[in-house]
Amino acid sequence: MMHRRVLLQASRPLLTPGRGLLAHGQVQLVRRATAEAGEGKSGHITANPATEGILFFNNLVPVNLSVFRRFTWILNRRKSSILRHEDKFATVGTIAPTTVVQEAIKNSKLGLGNVNVVEVLPRLKEGGAFLKFTHDAATDAATVAEAVRLHLKEHHIRAWWNPFQTVRAGLVLGRPWVEDLFRLPSRRLRVEFLPPQPGAEVAELSQEQLYSFFRPYGKLADIVTQPSDSKIAPRFAYLDFARLGKAIMARNCLHGYTITETQGGGKLGTVFRLSYEKKQSPSWLSSWIFGHPRIVIPILAALIAGITVAVFDPLRTLSIRAHITRSFHIEDNVIVRWFKTQSDDLIKRVRELRHGVDTGEAGMQVVWDDRKSEIEMIQSWLMETADTFIIVQGPRGSGKKELVVDHALQHKREAHKLLIVDCKPIQDARGDASTIAAAANEVGYRPVFSWMNNISGLIDLAAQGMTGVKAGFSETLENQLSKIWNNTASALKSIGLEDRSKDDIDANLTDDEWLEAHPERRPVVVIDNFLHKSGEDGATLVYDKIAEWAARLTTSNIAHVVFLTNDVSFSKSLSKALPDRVFRTISLGDCSPETAKRYVINHLDFDAAENKASEDESEETMKLTPSQKRTDLRELDDVIPLLGGRLTDLEFLARRIKAGEAPSKAVQEIIDQSASEILKMFLLLGSESKEWSSQQAWTLVRSLAHSEALRFNEVLMLDAYKSGGDKALAALEQAELISVQSLNGRPYSIKPGRPVYQPAFQRLVEDKVLAAKMDLALLVEAIGNENKSIDKYEQELHLLGELPKQPGELSHRLNWLLHKIEDSQIKIEDYEKQGAGLKKILLSEF
């Protein structure tokens, strides 16, 4: 280490101009740049007790600077200016220690001799510095320390970063350990009692003795001595200071101090070894929290839930309201809507001029004219105060959503008071998190933390394993869905009340009374695809929560609720939510043949390609519509009854005819396609993953191929439906193979699920190979059932035959059993004869 020796004469300033001459004679300052590891990195500062002394100054720099000592590689490469020049303390810290000693000696009245400052050793992590000085024989170190103390007490040098702390100085009595370890100061000191020589006896000081040594350095909070029965050596005690600076001063002044016999240190004396000790101060609050997890964890869960409700629920309600009113949709902007309207009108006018027809909605206007009564009925129901559901039921492709949303509720849609909830994405979601996200997306519930449900479940599981009870951090799917629907109800209520004014005649009514008196102001909730895949696991929970929420909306007069469903058994599910209400139901069937024909023709005229007429065409031919140019549309009268009035099938037919196919050929291909779907979905998959068997489905196909309708109870009496027939028919109806007609709540007839299925059934029955295969499967099943019956009868006969006597009263029973066996055997023989003929067909034809 490089040393620099500076000799300052009386005529030369020490640190500031004009302050080189001290009170008594010449002053010599020797200043060395020393690291924080002591002289020569030995960890100690050597001092001659007769002529030298050491002072420790605190509060020179912030103690918090010690954190930067972690970056030792920076200090090793390039020393900071504080370590190289102690006079930098005056710039970075409070004041330079040399300046304090210089001023104290100069102004002291204690009669000091020559005092020489040898070196200054900064202690960054303790916020202070050691100052080593020499004195003559007429002066002792204690006198110099007293002069410095009085000077600091008189001038009150305060730290600029903390005006409540002043710079203090103390005389180092022991041999300080100057180390640069990563040990941070603390208010607790560990005082170890060591012998001055190895192997010598040591005296353990009492609390009173320790108090007398350490109290002059600052207020003590506590003194904890080592238990008498402790085997830990060396013996020690803990001293807790009230302030950190006092502990630092005591540690640096008394470390290595030897207690003499007169002071209570024993015959050979006792040496203090001081070190900082991290005090574990357990708080009563933290102790109580960690000691009562069964109480704290539920309270913490309740607080989190309360904060979540207070912060996020208003945001979510506003998000739902914006979703319904479409506040942030650019396409609903006034300017954008005006340009869109003008362009739509222009395109519509051009098409009308070129085609000479009112294009409308691709021919759908014919359907809406046919269903005008249903549209007006729904609109009239929305004007009434009846708190019940409006249900529009019909098979897939019957145009339920278009009828309700685009026509019956068009005024609500334009007024931004319409909410559409599609149950299909909610039910198709896999897992609780996906279900919550899908439900939130339908209503605009934001923000949603669906992924947190899995993490909360793990936390709840860990808490349950630790405390034995559920903490309540995780919420079930039912609770999450309830939150979404409750926030949606709040948003709907605010939308319904937005038209209310203080100037109204009924302004004195409450919000609920006002909504009840103005049913036309309530928003409308359309629940589409209700009971979609209702037979799957977990579907009941989703649909039950939706039904309960819808019932709350209607009974509280918050909104009108319209259900769109394909399921004919909707009343079973909705009656749980509103058991004392009569639902308003509209059943949409298929179009009449006349309406179906007009729909196809109008669809052709709308979707026809706008090709220019050729030059050789006359003006009259150019004015003809595409449907008038076709000569094969006369076949529609013959093929429409085969296809039926289902809108999806009619649209498919119109598109095939527009592509150039003849109506008869297009219908035949549709029938073939439907037959293939029936064969794949109902006849060839078996009963492993279905609620019906192939034999049960084939029985209906074969019967409905020859009859437009079957008696419901007659089907249940067939051999294939004797076991679980009701359940199989309900599943086949849900799959839309058949349609069950009811009268006064009682099923009475069975028809094909779609009109096109009737000719498709006939097409399947006409396939000799397929019919032989399925009939043979029915015969095999029937033979198996008869054999089971014979086994049962024979077991009873065997049981009766083991009786010791045959009473006469059993003769009728025996004859009955014998006749049953005979009848079953005759059926088996008949079935085998029929099966032999079917096998020949299978062996001879492809």
Distance CA 5, CA 33 (A): 10
Quickly count: other Cβ atoms within 10 Å of residue 799's Cβ.
9
Find the DSSP H helices in 501-538. 511-517
Indicate whether 41 pLDDT > 50: yes
- The H-or-E segment that residue 128 falls in is strand 128-135
Same domain, 114 and 253: no
Taking the C-alpha atoms of residue 490 and residue 185, their distance in angstroms, rounded to an integer, is 57
Which of 27-41, 120-134, 516-530 shows the lowest mean pLDDT across its residues?
27-41
Alpha helix segments (H runs only) across 518-613: 539-555, 570-577, 593-607
Same-domain status, 120 and 167: yes
For residue 696, give the H/E element and its range: helix 694-704
Its domain, for residue 804, covers 768-846
3-class SS of residue 120: strand
Residues 457, 519, single domain; the answer is yes
Asked if residues 214 and 202 have their Cβ atoms less than 8 Å apart, the reply is: no
Note the helical H segments in 468-590.
477-496, 511-517, 539-555, 570-577
Q: Token pair 């032999």 is at which residue?
A: 836
**HEC per residue, 747-768:** EEEEEECCCCHHHHHHHHHHCH
Chain segment 790-822, per-residue pLDDT in tens: 999 999 999 988 888 878 888 899 999 999 999
pLDDT at 119: 86
- For 64, which DSSP code? G
- Residue 395 pLDDT class (50, 70, 90 cuts): confident
pLDDT at position 597: 83
Residue 630 sits in the same domain as residue 575: no
In a shared domain, residues 427 and 555: yes
> Rg of the chain over CA atoms, in angstroms?
50
Residue 257 and residue 270: Cα distance in Å, rounded?
8
Whether residue 400 lies inside any domain: the answer is: yes
Give the per-residue pLDDT at 19.
34
Highest mean pLDDT among 11-20, 128-137, 323-332, 803-812: 128-137
The DSSP call for residue 448 is: -
In a domain, 25, yes or no: no
Tokens of residue 355, six digits: 């085609």
> Which is higher by pLDDT, 488 or 659?
488
Q: What distance in Å separates the CA atoms of residue 562 and residue 16, rounded to the nearest whole number? A: 92
In a domain, 439, yes or no: yes
Q: Which runs of consecutive H residues, i.e. helices, occur in 40-192?
A: 72-77, 81-84, 89-92, 97-107, 141-155
Is residue 665, in this structure, part of any structural domain at all? Answer: no
Domain end: 248, 281, 314, which one? 281
For the chain, what is the domain count?
A: 5
> Where does a domain end: 572, 587, 602?
587
Query: In the beta sheet, which residues pair with residue 734?
Result: none
Q: Are residues 269 and 391 in the same domain?
A: no
The confidence score (pLDDT) of residue 123 equals 85
- Judgement on whether residues 607 and 574 belong to the same structural domain of the protein: no
Six-digit token string for 751:
């028809």
pLDDT tens digits, residue range 529-549? Answer: 998 876 665 668 889 999 999
pLDDT tens-digit readout, 138-190: 888 899 999 999 999 888 888 777 788 889 999 999 999 888 787 889 999 99
pLDDT band at 390 (very low <50, low <70, confident <90, very high): very high
Considering the chain, what is the average pLDDT of its residues? 81
Shared-domain flag, residues 105 and 230: no
Q: In this predicted structure, what is the pLDDT of residue 347?
A: 57
Structure tokens belonging to residue 461 = 């599981």
Distance CA 232, CA 356 (A): 109
- Determine the Cα–Cα distance for residues 601 and 651; give it in Å rounded to an integer: 10
The model's confidence at residue 841, banded by pLDDT at 50, 70 and 90, is very high
User: CATH no. for residue 248?
Assistant: 3.30.70.330
Flag whether pLDDT at 840 surpasses 90. Answer: yes
Greatest alpha-carbon pair distance for the chain in Å reads: 152
Confidence (pLDDT) at 5:
30
pLDDT value at 673 more than 60 = yes
Same domain, 374 and 446: yes
Report the distance separating Cα 319 and Cα 325, nearest Å.
Answer: 10
Residues 222 and 84 reside in one and the same domain: no
Check the CA dihedral 500-503-504-509 and report its sign.
Answer: positive
The yes-or-no verdict on residue 472 having pLDDT over 60 is no
Beta strands in 628-726 (DSSP E): 710-711
For residue 380, what pLDDT is reported? 92
Residues 278-327 have pLDDT tens digits of 877 666 777 777 777 777 777 777 777 677 767 778 888 999 999 998 87
**Distance set, CA 203 to CA 2, 196, 254 (Å):** 43, 11, 17
Question: What are the φ/ψ torsions at residue 342 (nearest 5 degrees)?
Answer: -65, -40
- Residue 836: name the closest of 796, 780, 791, 752 by CA: 780
Report how far residue 760's alpha carbon sits from residue 739's, in angstroms, rounded to the nearest whole number: 15
Same domain for 841 and 821? Answer: yes
pLDDT band at 7 (very low <50, low <70, confident <90, very high): very low
Q: Kindly state the tokens that stand for 198.
A: 């190895």
Is residue 289 in some structural domain?
Answer: no
The confidence band for 615, taking pLDDT boundaries of 50, 70 and 90, is very low
| 299, 463 contact by CB (below 8 A) | no
- Has residue 17 got a pLDDT over 90? no
**pLDDT tens per residue, range 318-353:** 999 999 988 766 666 567 666 666 666 555 555 544
Q: Looking at residue 409, what is its pLDDT?
A: 92
Task: Work out the pLDDT band at 85, boundaries 50, 70, 90.
Answer: low
Residue 451 lies in a domain: yes
Q: Return d(Cα 342, Cα 354) in angstroms, integer.
A: 19
Asked whether residue 319 is assigned to any structural domain, the reply reads no
Q: Minimal CA–CA distance to 435: which of 447, 444, 446, 423?
A: 423
Query: Is residue 614 over pLDDT 50?
Result: no
Q: Nearest 5°: CA angle at 236, between 230 and 241?
A: 130
pLDDT band at 451 (very low <50, low <70, confident <90, very high): low
With a CB cutoff of 8 Å and minimum separation 6, the contacts of 542 are 423, 426, 427, 435, 439, 481
Q: What is the mean pLDDT of residues 513-533?
A: 90
Position 490 pLDDT exceeds 90: yes
Kindly state whether residues 580 and 598 are assigned to the same domain: no
Q: Quick check: 92 and 24 in contact, CB under 8 A? A: no
Region 825-834 average pLDDT? 94
Which H/E stretch holds residue 129?
A: strand 128-135
Q: Is the pTM of this model over 0.85?
A: no
Q: Which residues contact 274 (CB under 8 A, 6 or more apart)?
A: 189, 190, 191, 192, 250, 251, 254, 255
Q: Is residue 542 part of a domain?
A: yes
Per-residue pLDDT, averaged over 60-83, amounts to 54
Q: What is the pLDDT of residue 397?
A: 78
DSSP 3-state of 420: strand
Question: CATH no. for residue 555?
Answer: 3.40.50.300
What whole-number distance in Å separates Cα of residue 360 and Cα of residue 370? 15
Domain end among 565, 587, 609:
587
